[in-house]
Amino acid sequence: MPEGPEVKRLAQRLGKVLVGKPLSSVAFSYKTLGSYDQELSSSEIELVDSRGKALLIRFECGKTIYSHNQLYGKWIVTRAGVEPKTGRTKRLVIRTPQHRAALYSASEIEVLDTSALLDHSFLRKLGPDALSEETHWREVAARLMESNFKNRSLGALLLDQSFVAGLGNYLRTEILHESCLHPDLRPKDLSQREIGKLARTILEITRLALKTAGVTNKPSRVKRLKRVGATRSRYRFSAFAREGQACYRCEEKIERLSVNSRRLYLCRICQPGRSRNAGGHS
């Protein structure tokens, strides 16, 4: 499933070809949404943005298309008149004189009143967006110690969109590895210094992934690895998908675990487990 940085980059790409452009047509494959085709085709797209892992396309007429790719959804952008070869099921096509933007295989698509977005069942439950400039690390640190979150394992918490929106599986591994924290630890087990470092790392790693198209390894390390001919799959992550390879910090082998039914990678030396009540908050 695409994580926050990938959805934000998609929003930026769609925005470049759709925002402020004359629309040739907007066409849904869902019969229940087809009644909006004419209204939206006669309007103009004002903004394409993301909220966590949801994509929002806002129209001048006061409507917003909400979509969530889940596991299989995918947008494909081509030049006008070009029909991509794909076995995916077409859900939505937006055409301008220059481009064709189509959403395939997504299971969640809705047309909402823009004024009522905050009442949407998914959007209203989201925590602060890790990619929003308005989200400060101190807000994240404070949330870590809220009653809803402080007793939960970090391995579970970092996948919960109500905690911080936009995080996902590869980000979870990279954030915990950079913070030197074991996934079994809870916020209440951490010192104030660890809470602060974790909060800052959540934002820094997620924003780095946006800037670099998903590369979360340290920029200086990436540069060094590129110099010796490393491929993107080798330099992209510091821990994720590196099972059996040496930790960049201590050279211990990276291990793969299953945490909350999702794969997670860690270094046992850099991310030791410890008593849940040792040195933490009460």
CATH classification at residue 112:
3.20.190.10
Residue 29 has pLDDT above 60, yes or no: yes
Identify whether residues 108 and 151 lie together within a single domain. Answer: no
Identify whether residues 142 and 102 lie together within a single domain. Answer: no
In-domain check, residue 149: yes
Q: Give the model's pLDDT for residue 275.
A: 54
Identify whether residues 152 and 252 lie together within a single domain. Answer: yes
In total, how many domains does the chain have?
A: 2
Residue 191 has pLDDT above 50, yes or no: yes
Between CA 119 and CA 230 the distance in angstroms is 47
Identify whether residues 197 and 227 lie together within a single domain. Answer: yes
Identify whether residues 72 and 34 lie together within a single domain. Answer: yes
DSSP, residue by residue, the chain = ---HHHHHHHHHHHHHHHTTPPPSEEEESSTTTGGGHHHHHTS-EEEEEEETTEEEEEETTSEEEEEE-TTT-EEEEEETT------SPEEEEEE-SSEEEEEES-SEEEEEEGGGGGGSTTGGG---BTT-TT--HHHHHHHHTSTTTTTS-HHHHTT-TTTSBT--HHHHHHHHHHHT--TT--GGGS-HHHHHHHHHHHHHHHHHHHHHTS--S-HHHHHHHHHTT--HHHHS-SSTT-TTSBPTTT-PBPEEEEETTEEEEE-TTTS----TTTTS--
- Evaluated on CA atoms 249, 255, 258, 262, the torsion sign reads positive
* Token pair listed for 103: 């959403």
| CATH number of the structural domain spanning residue 228 | 1.10.8.50
In-domain check, residue 44: yes
Residue 194 has pLDDT above 60, yes or no: yes
Q: Of 13, 262, 263, 268, which one is the catalytic site residue?
A: 262
Q: Of 2, 5, 128, 183, which one is the catalytic site residue?
A: 2
Residue 52 has pLDDT above 70, yes or no: yes
Active site residue 133: no
Identify whether residues 146 and 221 lie together within a single domain. Answer: yes
Of 91, 125, 159, the last residue of a domain is 125
Q: Give the model's pLDDT for residue 282.
A: 39
Active site residue 3: yes
Identify whether residues 105 and 163 lie together within a single domain. Answer: no
Identify whether residues 69 and 144 lie together within a single domain. Answer: no
Model pLDDT for residues 221-276, shown as the tens digit of each residue: 999 999 999 999 999 999 999 999 999 999 999 999 999 899 999 999 999 986 54
User: What is the percentage of the chain residues whose pLDDT exceeds 90?
Assistant: 90
Q: Give the model's pLDDT for residue 69.
A: 87
Q: Of 3, 6, 174, 178, which one is the catalytic site residue?
A: 3
Identify whether residues 43 and 106 lie together within a single domain. Answer: yes
Identify whether residues 76 and 152 lie together within a single domain. Answer: no
In-domain check, residue 132: no
Identify whether residues 143 and 257 lie together within a single domain. Answer: yes
Q: Give the model's pLDDT for residue 281.
A: 47
Of 65, 92, 125, the last residue of a domain is 125
User: pTM for the whole thing?
Assistant: 0.92
Q: Cα-flanking dihedrals φ and ψ of residue 221, to 5°?
A: -70, -40
Active site residue 262: yes
In-domain check, residue 272: no
In-domain check, residue 153: yes
Residue 278 has pLDDT above 90, yes or no: no
Q: Of 9, 53, 207, 242, which one is the catalytic site residue?
A: 53
Identify whether residues 102 and 51 lie together within a single domain. Answer: yes
Domain hosting residue 185, numbered range: 137-266
